Amino acid sequence: MDKEDVDYILQAIGNELRRKILLYVAREGPISYTKLMKMVGVDDSGTFGFHLRKMQRLLKKDDMGEYVLSDLGVRAIKFLEKIGYVGVSESQVERNLASSKSTIEGDKVKVIGDMGSYSFGEDVARMYLEKGYRIIFRNIIKLRIGKMPRDLFVRVVEEISDCLTVYCPNSLRDLVELKSKQVFRIKSNDRGTGKSLESINLGFISNIVSGVVSTALDLVPKFVSQKFGEFGKLVVDREFNSRDLDRIEIDCSGGLFEVRFGDVDRLKIWSKYREPETDIDRRDDSLHMDLSGERVELSVSKKSIDSLYVDISGGVGKLDSGLFNSLTLEVGGGLISFHGCGFKDSIKLDVNGGAVNLDARHLGGRASIEGEVSSGVLKINILVRKGVKLIVDNNIVGGIMNITRNGEHIPNKYSDTTIDSSGDVMFIKLDVSGGLVNILIKED
Q: What angle do CA 398, 345, 110 make, to 5 degrees?
A: 35
Instruction: Place 381 in a pLDDT band, splitting at 50, 70 and 90.
Output: very high
pLDDT at 63: 58
The yes-or-no verdict on residue 90 having pLDDT over 60 is no
CA 329, 331, 334, 337 torsion: positive or negative?
positive
pLDDT at 111: 80
One-character DSSP codes across 321-354: S-EEEEEEEEESSSEEEEEEEEEEEEEEEEEEEE
Q: What is the DSSP letter of 88?
A: S
Overall average pLDDT of the 59-65 stretch: 73
d(CA 146, CA 75) in angstroms, rounded, equals: 43
3-state secondary structure of 148: coil
Tell which wins on pLDDT, 7 or 323.
323
Overall average pLDDT of the 147-157 stretch: 92
Mean pLDDT of the residues in the chain: 80
Peptide bond into 411 cis (omega under 30): no
Single out the residue of 430, 402, 433 nearest to residue 329, CA to CA: 430
The yes-or-no verdict on residue 391 having pLDDT over 50 is yes
Q: 162: exposed, middle or buried (C-beta count within 10 Å: 0-12, 13-18, 19+)?
A: middle
The yes-or-no verdict on residue 180 having pLDDT over 80 is yes
Angle between helices 16-28 and 90-99 (to 10 degrees): 150
333 CA to centre of own chain: 8
The yes-or-no verdict on residue 89 having pLDDT over 60 is no
Q: Which range has the worst mean pLDDT, 2-11, 207-216, 382-391?
A: 207-216
The yes-or-no verdict on residue 163 having pLDDT over 90 is no
Q: Does domain 3-99 have CATH number 3.10.310.10?
A: no
Q: Which range has the worst mean pLDDT, 114-128, 179-193, 244-258, 311-325?
A: 179-193
pLDDT at 94: 42
Q: What is the pLDDT of residues 219-229, one digit of tens each?
A: 555 555 555 45
Backbone angles phi, psi at 297, to 5 degrees: -120, 125
d(CA 124, CA 290) in angstroms, rounded, equals: 32
Overall average pLDDT of the 387-412 stretch: 89
Q: What is the pLDDT of residues 293-332, one digit of tens each?
A: 889 999 999 889 999 999 998 888 899 988 999 999 998 8
Q: 254: exposed, middle or buried (C-beta count within 10 Å: 0-12, 13-18, 19+)?
A: middle
d(CA 43, CA 37) in angstroms, rounded, equals: 7
Overall average pLDDT of the 63-72 stretch: 78
Residue 173 exposure: Cα atoms within 13 Å on the Cβ side: 10
Tell which wins on pLDDT, 64 or 137.
137
Domain spans in the chain, listed from the N-terminal domain onward: 3-99, 108-195, 207-443
Report CA-CA distances (Å) from 197 to 201, 224, 376, 384, 430: 9, 34, 16, 29, 15
